[in-house]
Amino acid sequence: PGEREENETHKGLRVADQGFLNTAVLRSQITYIDGDAGVLRYRGYPIEQLALHSSHLETAYLLIYGSLPTKSQYEVWSNEIAQHSIVHADAEQFFRSFRYDAHPMAILTSAFAYLGSYYQEANPSLQGQNLYTKGDPASLAVMDKQIYRLIGKATTLAAMAYRVRQGREFVTPPTGMSYTGSFLYQMDYLGQENYKPNPVLEKALDVLFLLHADHEMNASASSVLQVGSSLVDPFSAVAAGCASLYGPLHGGANEAVIRMLISIGKPENVPAFIEAVKKREKVLSGFGHRVYKTSDPRSFLVRKTADEVFRIAGKDQLLETAMALHDAAMKDDYFVSRKLAPNVDFWFVFVMLHSHFSLMFIQERSNLSCDGFPERLLPGALRRTAGCWMVGTLAAGVQMMLQSGGVKIWRPRQIYVGSGRRDYVRIDDRE
Ligand code: ACO
């Protein structure tokens, strides 16, 4: 409900919509969500069909350019992304300047801003003009190049943020691998001859990337657009989105899920945890959503994908705990009455944990104690960020520029509820 402000400072009607529960900030042709019916479509295509038949990179093209690519369009697109995946060797020094235990999302956020300092052609302040001038094909080509760079380098930067924490050498993006395969390679390669990521994990992670590619005005995408609306370079705008994604109520939720499961420890402890949530002492991470009030369609698809991974990786106590927690919450009136169901992050963590390592890791995994996990999971939100969520924000950004005929700076207002006019009192005269 809006709140009407009537005081001496502001005239007219202004509506307070805290948390943007009912404010649409633009018209979009990209993503359709029906939160009550649990429907998600990209450019009209149901997410279920895309998850089954498409790939992350093909879906990225769809989101950004509006239609599925032909074979030749796809070839050009994937080649451009691959070619732009390499980062300059100077960046290694930048990555090594972080503390050994810096959070990878903090590193990644900074890394996007770092790229902004690198590509001056994308910086309207330095160029003295906007990145895109309506009707000018040359400026469209400049924009495309930034899109290739952002999507191509995102996985490289994410892998570098991961490896620097491990004290490992950086790995140059390999040739001849899929987008997601290349990411896994850059994360996990340890000098093994002819190393290739496990295909089941590669496929699973690719589906997850695709499912996260866009979600209309979520906190991170709208942060990108808000910052981008000042016409700053796209790398800086994406850094803002990355910072937003870091938070535990958003992309950081998958990290929170795993910490929660580790703290619960085993299925027998689930009832006590549920009671603590109901007393508001704890939050059930990975449950609830601002838009989906019945079910999150991505959650089913992630669960299906996770099942593929469990088939090769087996089950362990962490997974048994997650299943017990899921089943208990879905039966409990507290969650049912508030329409709280698993969101995309709940099962996501399991695919993430497994795809984090090579098959060798999976063989070892059954011997790991839960204590082994937090350190390994930290790049969780990072993995999510890498090139997937960004696609949607780029698509929306491009659309904002092209379709509205120009950008209007996002400058919301507030309802002032502070004191009336007061006169300044010098410090010696204050009580
Ligand atoms: N655990 C326990 N209670 C919850 C949870 C939860 N995960 N989520 C919502 N609730 C409760 C609230 O306390 C509130 O109860 P009340 O009406 O008695 O006060 C009611 O359900 C409604 O919740 P809101 O906070 O109004 O929901 P909102 O739309 O503002 O928040 C959010 C959505 C942030 C996702 C919330 O559900 C949450 O914090 N979930 C846990 C974090 C998480 O999983 N985030 C990932 C979201 S998906 C993504 O970003 C990719």
ipTM of this complex prediction, to 2 decimal places:
0.95
Residue with CA at minimum distance from ligand 1 atom 15 = 338
Q: How far is the CA of 256 from the centre of ligand 1 (A)?
A: 13
CA-proximal residue: ligand 1, atom 19 (nearest): 338
Q: Which two tokens stand for residue 33?
A: 């969500």
Angle between helices 219-228 and 234-246 (to 10 degrees): 150
3-state secondary structure the chain: CCCECCCCCCCCCCECCHHHCCCCCCCCCCEEEECCCCEEEECCEEHHHHHHHCCHHHHHHHHHHCCCCCHHHHHHHHHHHHHCCCCCCHHHHHHHCCCCCCCHHHHHHHHHHHHHHHCHHHCHHHHCCCCCCCCCHHHHHHHHHHHHHHHHHHHHHHHHHHHHHHCCCCCCCCCCCCHHHHHHHHHHCCCCCCCCCCHHHHHHHHHHHHHCCCCCCCHHHHHHHHHHCCCCCHHHHHHHHHHHHHCCCCCCHHHHHHHHHHHHCCHHHHHHHHHHHHCCCCCCCCECCCCCCCCCHHHHHHHHHHHHHHHHHCCCHHHHHHHHHHHHHHHCHHHHHCCCCECHHHHHHHHHHHHCCCHHHHHHHCCCCHHHHHHHHCCHHHHHHHHHHHHHHHHHHHHHHHHCCCCCCCCCCCCCCCCCCCCCCCHHHCC
Beta bridge partners of 33: 40
- CA-nearest residue for atom 49, ligand 1, is 250
pLDDT, tens only, 192-220? 888 898 888 889 889 988 998 888 888 88
The best mutation among 249, 260, 384 to test binding of ligand 1, ranked by most ligand atoms within 8 Å of the C-beta, falls on 249
Measured from the Cα of 215, ligand 1's closest atom is 51
Q: Token pair for residue 275?
A: 């009671």
Is residue 305 within 8 A of residue 56, CB to CB? The reply is: no
Map tokens 């390499």 to a residue: 86
Share of the chain above pLDDT 70, in %: 84
Q: Which residues are catalytic?
A: 289, 345
Report pLDDT for 399: 62
Ligand 1 pocket test target in 302, 338, 345, 384 with most atoms within 8 Å of CB: 338
- Site to probe by mutation for ligand 1, drawn from 212, 261, 275, 287 as the one with most ligand atoms within 8 Å of Cβ, is 287
Rounded to two decimals, the pTM is 0.85
How far is the centre of ligand 1, averaged over its atoms, from the C-alpha of 339 (Å)? Answer: 10
* Rounded distance between C-alpha atoms, residue 158 and residue 381, angstroms: 10
| Atom of ligand 1 lying closest to residue 19 CA | 30
Within 13 Å, how many C-alpha atoms sit on residue 227's CB side?
Answer: 21
pLDDT at position 380 is: 47
Ligand 1 binding pocket includes 232 (Cβ within 6 Å):
no
Side by side, the strands of the sheet bearing 45-46 are 31-34, 39-42, 45-46
CA distances from 427 to 419, 424, 431 (A): 20, 9, 9
Alpha carbon of 219 to ligand 1 centroid (Å): 14
Residues of the chain with pLDDT under 70: 1-11, 129-132, 134, 352-390, 392, 396-406
8 A C-beta contact, residue 30 and residue 194: no
